[in-house]
Structure 1
């Protein structure tokens, strides 16, 4: 056995000779950013070998200077003797997104209120299916000596009209102590089932009828957001988000599916989402609002189809294999205790139904909250997350597709990329004369990387300034200090010099990054184009475009059009609608009518499989240019470039 010592973390682990360094780090609990999950495409898992020898193949991600200093890719390195390793800041930068952030902006509140009106304006009730009742039961005597459970059922039959009352074993075990600890004056939480049936899911001492709570969760591939809701009035008591801890096993769903199929990979992914992500979020919100976990009696989760499988621990590998068949689209109600989610163990978890392997419940929830299903206008809905999903339609039809955009919009597989958290550059401009950059950093911190909206700004600005051409290749004839070419012949633009910000290395974007992002934006544009053309329509027939996803907070619509990610139509047609998945989960939590409409939406959507569509590949290749191979489709961008 050999030893790996992680210097800064002061941790050691024993491994077999020849074991992969990235796997060894994971065993030690050392989290190293590896969006590609070890397929050598991202180059983000750079670590420094301080002492000892390793077997590491050369890679264009490691410069000659870095190689001389002992840097290797952890995923591309095998242990051949005892070593000491230093994990640099950039290899663990994504962990800055693992901390829990409070979410309470006025803009979010406005978006939630707008979604709530979608339900109310269409005559739907805004009331939870869970109910509470304060009851005072007759104290047992020798003359009235029926069992505790029969005594409760008798009261509910005589006073509330329930002829059939049920509870589960865990609830039954609590009843004797609670009744006698409250002089038989208790509050029951129950779920009516219709026709005189109800199920008791909680019992509390005294009158607690004013306290009833639920949780809605959006399980994104990169980030997870949640809100704690008062089920009586729908008010948001707390909101929080953090990075999805599964990201250490791959940035996108394909890499996680591959990891899930190996050994105990599925269990690790399941543990990461429940114990390292959802439960910490729940604890944070409950502590903030001073709510006990047993008072949380409703739970709705929305996520893409892969996230739903991993949440439930269901083998997902067939999702990525033709003909792309999921194990389920609509999961049964599941008790919280079955997944060890830290709410009332009797709580039923509702997983928002998916549409297809790559169009999940997050999109179904987003369509519900956006109100597309209720309008006459033609609406294009684009979710710019780790996966790119698109919906087009109105009250009469809904078409949907999924684009293979990859994780670029969340900073994945981009050497300088990171999610939109503290330290991420989210807005960028470049001076047309000096080629000097100006940018804004989230949290006003030292820059650590660039998030999706910043990358869009940067690529747009570089093209408009002539720093690169429409293929994404840097202009090597511009003799400025911010452009350089490495020993592999790959050009890069220096956004921030390390000396100016006290960083370990310059913050740059290179031609490989730009090419990756151009493919990602091309996937979005071509997906939308095929969706419309399959109906005999084009972008001129769009009345409104809704942009959802975390990237939208700082998204510059003009720059998004300039790079050809969005169609060149009037900017006033675009609207950012926030985390539509979380909003849809919230509406489902609060409204039974909303849940029924949600399921209608899932049934109504027609899925277009782009991988077999005869025109998609031609559309995609044409869109992998700035802004497009056919510049006439972008008249405003053409005019700007000519000027």
Structure 2
């Protein structure tokens, strides 16, 4: 009997890879793996409810069918929409399903350090009582307001905005020449409000990750976080890593698509935060955003082209203040957008925010930050100086390239315990249901456990000849270790860790370790001299430090010195929103932090090849 060709496709936003026989419909392939889409008609093409977006490989499906042409507009079909019950797999594709239809929203890291800061926001308000004009006093309405501002409450001559001036004549006369002025840095009038207006003074901090977005809505008067929201960065539709997106953005149309996608994602989070806080977007007078340099450029509509080749030069490094209207962000029409500075290369405002959040720039002794993600930043330093680098760790830590890999969402195995003698496996699943796959922290745990048990050697090779229980060859002849048998899973097949998965993690962990080793070498420090190690980001929040050390992702730090700090970049963005002093400090940090370009470093190849091995 001839073998049926198997087709692999990717399901976003889970980052899950699924195999199915050629000619299988997407609906049937998904249902085999426990992913049920709305399909009232049972897959007959009658209800039109099972719509999916084809992100890549549209040509690897059968032509659109008559039921699809009936239910979907020509525009929807051109944009890549298909009915899952009608689309048959002829080759590899990448599809997007909304989290609502999946019923399992990806777990995104929004919590970070709780850091106290002296409240000193750029946005403030004052109540002003001006005198009405007379025949003897014909000063303009605006000049009368300026002259009535108490000394010290403004810079003497704050600039007006057109929207405010249009409202000014009616407003001052209606309210007896008493109004509330909303000021930015005491040098620009953002709004002119009635004295008893219910308008709130809010700001929003945005962390733009390669994979994830996080938003924090803050009360600028009290410094309190009033709402938090997170989502997958819509740009994943155009590529999972930074390099792919830079390539996509090389022409102006690609850049515009990427910018529109991330702005749409940010605006959706603003809507969600406002709904949670019972606020309106007009209450938002300032936005601070951070991200790596590529995300920074794309959000601003700047070409990231020069970041794609040596010497990896950004368009701009300086901190920026821009009108929110220029980026089409949902905020008060006069709101300001503040962008933290870029350090160099791919080390962007997110790294500056990490430093502010952890206080690395004020530390007495050497400390290290690892902000682990698709693009990993490593920073080493103290009050005496800082050095940093960027590591192309890739998306393996988020489940990409792993046979049963998926992002950290319901159904993902997030932790694994392997008994060294019997090789008995215990695992924990996000959401406590049946497993659908392995997320990054689960993969790291599994590899660490197999290293301790001697199933994997220092080269990364699985020792199948030893006859270990659970170790076998799969249908492709590749070595694999069984994590969860089919009877326990939501997808009806065994979930296993393959030899190929181990190789993917070796490449990713070697990139991180190389960055750390080269920074230590540049600073003439040993790992034992680093007093604190901060693990930032979603992966850093959930990976077990002992497992990360066991696979050699980090230098041999003392485990007690390793601290998870969650979304430190988001915390740093919040601090910059609440404190003008910290914005100034951010500029100093960016200027003082020395950037090391790994790929041109004389020790790079030697250190990297050594870092590929697991600790013996």
Regarding TM over 0.5, the answer is: yes
Distance 1:232 1:255, change over 3 A: same
Tell me, in whole angstroms, the C-alpha distance in 1 between the residues paired with 2:20 and 2:337. 40
What do residues 421-474 of structure 1 show as CA deviations (whole Å, max 9, x unaligned)? 333222111233443422112222342332222221111112222333332232
Distance 1:538 1:135, change over 3 A: same
> If the length of structure 1 is used for normalisation, what is the TM-score?
0.79
8 A Cα contact 1:45 1:73, kept in partner: no
Matched, 1:131 2:120: no
Distance 1:160 1:612, change over 3 A: closer
Matched, 1:221 2:210: yes
Residue of structure 2 equivalent to 1:187: 180
Tell me, in whole angstroms, the C-alpha distance in 1 between the residues paired with 2:479 and 2:172. 74
Residue of structure 1 equivalent to 2:380: 392
Name the SS for the 1:602 alignment partner.
helix
Distance 1:80 1:457, change over 3 A: closer
Selected match of 1:175 from 155, 158, 168: 168
Give 1:487 deviation, angstroms: 4.6
Residue of structure 2 equivalent to 1:338: 326
Matched, 1:269 2:264: no
Name the SS for the 1:333 alignment partner.
strand
Selected match of 2:220 from 231, 248, 262: 231
Q: After superposition, where does 1:342-361 map in structure 2 within 5 Å?
A: 342-361=330-349
What do residues 520-539 of structure 1 show as CA deviations (whole Å, max 9, x unaligned)? 11111121111111232221
Name the SS for the 1:165 alignment partner.
coil
Distance 1:494 1:139, change over 3 A: farther
Selected match of 2:190 from 178, 201, 204: 201
Distance 1:281 1:210, change over 3 A: closer
What do residues 298-356 of structure 1 show as CA deviations (whole Å, max 9, x unaligned)? 21111100000010111111101122111112253111111111111211111111111
What do residues 494-548 of structure 1 show as CA deviations (whole Å, max 9, x unaligned)? 3223332331543333222211111111111121111111232221222221111
Distance 1:354 1:104, change over 3 A: closer
What do residues 269-310 of structure 1 show as CA deviations (whole Å, max 9, x unaligned)? 1111111x2111111111111122222112111110000001
Q: Which runs of 5+ in 2 are unaligned?
A: 1-6, 27-53, 66-85
What do residues 360-380 of structure 1 show as CA deviations (whole Å, max 9, x unaligned)? 111111111111111221112
Distance 1:181 1:516, change over 3 A: farther
Q: After superposition, where does 1:494-643 map in structure 2 within 5 Å?
A: 494-627=482-615, 631=616
Tell me, in whole angstroms, the C-alpha distance in 2 between the residues paired with 1:216 and 1:80. 44
Tell me, in whole angstroms, the C-alpha distance in 2 between the residues paired with 1:100 and 1:133. 43
Distance 1:342 1:369, change over 3 A: same
8 A Cα contact 1:564 1:623, kept in partner: yes
Name the SS for the 2:192 alignment partner.
strand
Distance 1:480 1:431, change over 3 A: same
Give 1:481 deviation, angstroms: 7.5
8 A Cα contact 1:217 1:302, kept in partner: yes
Q: After superposition, where does 1:342-491 map in structure 2 within 5 Å?
A: 342-477=330-465, 482-491=470-479
8 A Cα contact 2:55 2:94, kept in partner: no
Count of aligned positions: 559
Residue of structure 1 equivalent to 2:70: none
Residue of structure 2 equivalent to 1:156: 149
Matched, 1:85 2:87: yes
Distance 1:212 1:47, change over 3 A: farther
8 A Cα contact 2:535 2:541, kept in partner: no
> If the length of structure 2 is used for normalisation, what is the TM-score?
0.82
My pick for the range that moved more, 305-314 or 421-430, is: 421-430
Matched, 1:212 2:214: no
My pick for the range that moved more, 80-89 or 128-137, is: 80-89
Give 1:246 deviation, angstroms: 0.8
Tell me, in whole angstroms, the C-alpha distance in 2 between the residues paired with 1:100 and 1:291. 26
Tell me, in whole angstroms, the C-alpha distance in 1 between the residues paired with 2:62 and 2:411. 36
Residue of structure 1 equivalent to 2:34: none
Matched, 1:278 2:278: no
Residue of structure 2 equivalent to 1:5: none
Q: After superposition, where does 1:36-47 map in structure 2 within 5 Å?
A: none
Residue of structure 1 equivalent to 2:71: none
Q: Which runs of 5+ in 1 are unaligned?
A: 1-20, 36-41, 53-71, 120-124, 632-643
Give 1:127 deviation, angstroms: 1.4
Give 1:262 deviation, angstroms: 4.6
Tell me, in whole angstroms, the C-alpha distance in 1 between the residues paired with 2:58 and 2:272. 38
Give 1:492 deviation, angstroms: 2.4
Give 1:77 deviation, angstroms: 5.0
Tell me, in whole angstroms, the C-alpha distance in 2 between the residues paired with 1:576 and 1:490. 35
Give 1:562 deviation, angstroms: 0.8
Distance 1:359 1:74, change over 3 A: closer
Give 1:569 deviation, angstroms: 3.1
My pick for the range that moved more, 179-188 or 576-585, is: 179-188
Name the SS for the 1:509 alignment partner.
strand
My pick for the range that moved more, 309-318 or 128-137, is: 128-137
Q: After superposition, where does 1:26-45 map in structure 2 within 5 Å?
A: none
Residue of structure 1 equivalent to 2:296: 308
CA RMSD of aligned residues (A): 3.4
Tell me, in whole angstroms, the C-alpha distance in 2 between the residues paired with 1:289 and 1:32. 29
Distance 1:98 1:424, change over 3 A: closer
Name the SS for the 2:87 alignment partner.
strand
